[in-house]
Structure 1
Amino acid sequence: MSTVIEQAVEARLIASAPRMPSIPATLRYDARDPYAVRMSFPAPATLEGVDVCWTFARDLLAAGVDQWAGEGDVRVRPYGYDRTVLEFHAPEGTAIVHVRTGELRRFLHRAAVLVPAGHEHLHLDMDGDLAELLRDAC
């Protein structure tokens, strides 16, 4: 069984233009990093013209589809009946995107089937991670 889930989603960039086109994005969850979710945007969808990937807590995304969540670089909140807003804050500026809540819930469900919430610690390789951290310490 695969330990990685990837799901394409349609994101709508919120900007000063009246109606921005949808941009492709990919949500990724890897059981080997069970607390994290990654959301990536391809180069044509970014101001810098390079691929951009944000990593944030799965719990943040799960909480944000129902209520305001986040105080740092990534913030998530419901918007209307069927949308969720994700805000990405960086020194260069802020990107705000809308994603259909159903797509996010489907992704979160698939991740929960792979690693149930509250069982993330069972999927960590603490010995391997510690050995990697200490590998160059001597």
Structure 2
Amino acid sequence: MVKLTDNKGKGVFATTSISKGQIIETSMAVELPDSDKETLDETIIWDYYFDTSPCEFGLKEKAYILLGYASLCNHSSVPNAAIVWSTGVLGVRGDLVSLKQIAAGEEISIWYTNVNEYVSKGLIPASDAVRSEEVR
């Protein structure tokens, strides 16, 4: 659920208890054109997109907007969730995955960074950084 926080504007909050490793939400991603990125960096959209460059894990060096709650999660230096990216026949998507147990009513937070830093900081294993789906 999205609601106002005390000091960060809108935030995403758990409506039920969430187990460690649980996928909280899966969101399709919209790839932002390179030609628009510089312009978008000067707009409010800058606060809501994910930049995958430079990426060592198979995603194109692009910027994406996730069409779901994940784009509204606030930053934390000690996050309780992370974005795990997937590529497949439908394109790129992001899974919002819990890094620890999250209590009902607790704010869901992510660390604002690129894919490589989630791995280098030990938040997720390299094998989970980007998943490639098989064609079904």
Same fold? TM cut 0.5: no
**Greater RCO between the two (CA within 8 Å, min separation 6)?**
2
> Greater share of helix residues, 1 or 2?
1
Q: With the length of structure 2 as denominator, give the TM-score of the two structures.
A: 0.29
